[in-house]
Structure 1
């Protein structure tokens, strides 16, 4: 008898990705609804959650901890990439979409926000998005 490896529900992953994108954009467009003490960090955490859920669309059979680690590595790579200030990269980051995807300035606290966002996404994934057989 073969063990069937559980997989993520792709449609739920798409829904989670879209919902998190909407929340992230709203957190930046309407900062008055985010506690001032949290600053921009809820948006950073939501960005990391979006990376996790978007990866889950593709990697439906990856274990939650592997997906979380991959998402964190991507988030950290993008953040450390902000230390590179090549002219073409600075120009790309100046565009609104480039800024949303790549950020602009390195910040150590962003790494904490990404970790928190991925942790929340992993909990949601484990509880609701991962199909058990």
Structure 2
């Protein structure tokens, strides 16, 4: 291999690593915003409309899961976070059908209740679906604005970005 090609590959990898960290910082910010908005919807529930207090917390929890998956796997296709997020949220909701003293003890704590929920509600599945669909749409729209060419079936989103060439 020529020295020139080796240097070009090293520069490309260096740019790719820097770009991944920037993308991860954006997704970390999105996770933190979703957490703050979700907690805010509980803390300020007396000041918010009933529709917001009833539905936004679960939808924002699903947003957090979606963006968390994007944080873990930024160069995977968006559909991995879409379907993975739905699968995770649905699994947590269906796990609430299992009622045992040991898991109910965990659910009785603040963190356990926020992560695992308290009891199964079918409407939560709709809230999760809406939250993840909104997150995916925002993600897709932002990537289009930045110029990252992605589609649901495109697994090479970062490799096609202008700043990596």
- Calculate the TM-score normalised by the size of structure 2: 0.72
Q: Which residue number corresponds to residue 57 of structure 2?
A: 43
Who is 2:91 aligned against?
77
Distance in 2 separating the partners of 1:117 and 1:49: 5
C-alpha distance in structure 1 between counterparts of 2:98 and 2:66, whole Å = 24
Question: What are the equivalent positions in structure 2 for 1:83-98 lying under 5 Å apart?
Answer: 83-98=97-112
| RMSD, matched Cα | 1.9
2:123 aligned with 1:109, yes or no? yes
Q: Take 2:39 and 2:114, find their aligned partners in 1: how far apart are those partners?
A: 9
- Say if 1:52 and 1:121, in contact at 8 Å, map to a contact too: yes
Report which of the two structures shows the higher radius of gyration computed on alpha carbons: 2
Residue 39 of structure 2 is matched in structure 1 by 25
Equivalenced residue count is 128
Counterparts of 1:59-70 in structure 2, within 5 Å, are 59-70=73-84
Could you list the runs of 4 or more consecutive aligned residues of structure 1 that deviate by over 4 angstroms after TM superposition? none
Q: Check whether the contact 1:13–1:129 (CA below 8 A) recurs between aligned residues.
A: no
| Structure 1 unaligned spans of 5+ | 1-5
TM-superposed deviation, 1:129: 5.2
Instruction: Give the gaps of 5 or more residues in structure 2.
Output: 1-18, 149-160
Deviations 1:45-90 (A, max 9, x none): 0000000001111111121122110000000000000000011000
Aligned partners of 1:49 and 1:34: how far apart in 2? Answer: 20
Q: Residues 39 and 19 from structure 1, CA distance in 2 versus in 1: closer, same or farther, beyond 3 angstroms?
A: closer
